[in-house]
Structure 1
């Protein structure tokens, strides 16, 4: 997916819009929402949470929200769900532009600042989708595997 963007068309508002949930405005808030969702599911399943898997999910949430703020005109929607063997994080923004990975070195051999977020998301998530939104903008959904099976 990350080499070739899988795009889809979204015809309905997201579940978060239908439920009237507030969206995080900062990466730290997104991380707290993801951590809460994963730990609540682990607690309900009476299963310990894998710290490394949770850390990966927190990093993906942070990168997606940071990219939406820096490159997408801001976060317009945010969702997190623990599903099956993973945590699904969806972040929407105002930009129609697809995410890109830039080389860490410019044409003169100087190291660039930034540009590592999208490759991080692609490496940690096992399913990444970019969905165009009917009102403009996009939603990026990434599913990060959880090492410990979590029952639904």
Structure 2
């Protein structure tokens, strides 16, 4: 059985916006280009036609992927978390490692993860180690470079 596709309301809105942009804007423009290019004669050496058909296939694949992700999505609003003193989906957690370097992570859905922005998927090793923790707890995370101990400094949920 696969894991649920948890996502925040903002993440779901971003999926919808991406689908809308592709379906209502980019795809119709590409269909127009392909139609124009098809009317220019020999399609075997027509770069606009060949590229356009390829791009349409890419757009359709991405539309299908987005539609499936939205269909399978379970929107979880972190503002409604009853226990805001522990780390659960949607929490922003500030941790300190053994060298007292602080980092902040927000546990989000797979589709909205962006490590550079501090948004990590709720099923990454770090997120798994942090889930259920309270301020002051120590957690050991198994990373490719070895085990690392993290202390939970703060937990925030959106208002």
Normalising to structure 2: TM-score of the pair? 0.26
The structure with the larger Rg is 2
Structure with greater helix percent:
2
TM-score if structure 1 supplies the norm length?
Answer: 0.27
Q: Which has the higher contact order (CA 8 A, sep 6+)?
A: 1
